[in-house]
Amino acid sequence: MSSQNQSSVLHKFKDILFSTMSSEELLSSMDSFNAREDDVFLVSYPKSGTHWIAKVIENIPNAEITLTSPIELGDISKFEELKMCCKRRVIPTHLSYNMLPVDIKQKQCKVNYIVRNPKDTAVSLFHYYRENPNLPGIESWAAFLELFLRGDVVYGSWFDHILTWEDHKNDENILFIFYEEMKKDPSKSIKKITTFLGINVSEREINQIACKSSFREMKNDAAKENCDANKTICALTSNRSLVFRKGAVGDWINYFTSKQKIVFDELFAERMKHSELARHFEDYS
């Protein structure tokens, strides 16, 4: 990957790589954002399932919500744009806890934090780099994995990101949702999300939401809604067809060599040694 290629689509802010679709002016003005107490934030490291949770929330009957584009997407006019939303706002972001606007923390806005096995996340982000013109070109999986392990990818280190959020896992306004658990039992995760948001839904409605937010349905919808600016919930592209690839659990095994797995697992053990969340990934490693 040439540095010229990287610098044309990415820039560094506070030592973390961001897409040029997120202006430095906007990123440096985050603390001027005015949160509302009923705001909901969908937060994750890229390629961890934000679109999935967004689809679930969009399909909650009578929810009276507006799903916005990411808080860090665009320029300083973003805050004016968000101010125009009359309904309860559901705002996606890939920001780490440390970069989240201070008003969100002070008002204890509800946050859904979505976590996915980092090996699957790395593979999914690798394909995203290869297919998305808003991200740098990549020579090979091996080259990309090195960047991922160094945190030299968009939104920085997976480990740094998840650990800033894990520090707040016991905050009452933050709900952790695991991608793998949602895949195994969608209805159970949907029930968790609706209860957390204070929205009453019946069992029948939960099952309907699960059907409408299945991977196949989302992929079909993406083709119909493609490049609709109102449906942009990724800070890295408005092309929804790029977002849905496989949605699989355990696909990493088709990419990692045994040596790469050892290197990854050693770094994971070191970085996550004090993490309770690390236990969740034992079944998927």
Provide the annotated active-site residues: 94
Q: Rounded to an integer, what distance in angstroms lies between the CA atom of residue 43 and that of residue 54?
A: 10
Nearest to 135 by CA among 13, 230, 1, 29: 1
Two tokens at 284?
Answer: 């998927």
Which of the 8 DSSP states describes residue 74?
Answer: B
Q: Rounded to an integer, what distance in angstroms lies between the CA atom of residue 19 and that of residue 28?
A: 14
- DSSP assignment string, 132-197: -TTS---S-HHHHHHHHHHT-SBT--HHHHHHHHHTTTT-TTEEEEEHHHHHH-HHHHHHHHHHHH
Q: Rounded to an integer, what distance in angstroms lies between the CA atom of residue 62 and that of residue 198?
A: 12
Q: Rounded to an integer, what distance in angstroms lies between the CA atom of residue 46 and that of residue 120?
A: 11
Name the burial class of residue 250, with classes exposed (0-12), middle (13-18) and buried (19+) by CB atoms within 10 angstroms of its CB: middle
Residues 20-48, buried b or exposed e (16+ Cβ, 10 A)?
ebbbeebbeebeebebbeebbbbbbbbbb
Q: Which residues make beta-bridge pairs with 79?
A: none
Two tokens at 220?
Answer: 């079909």
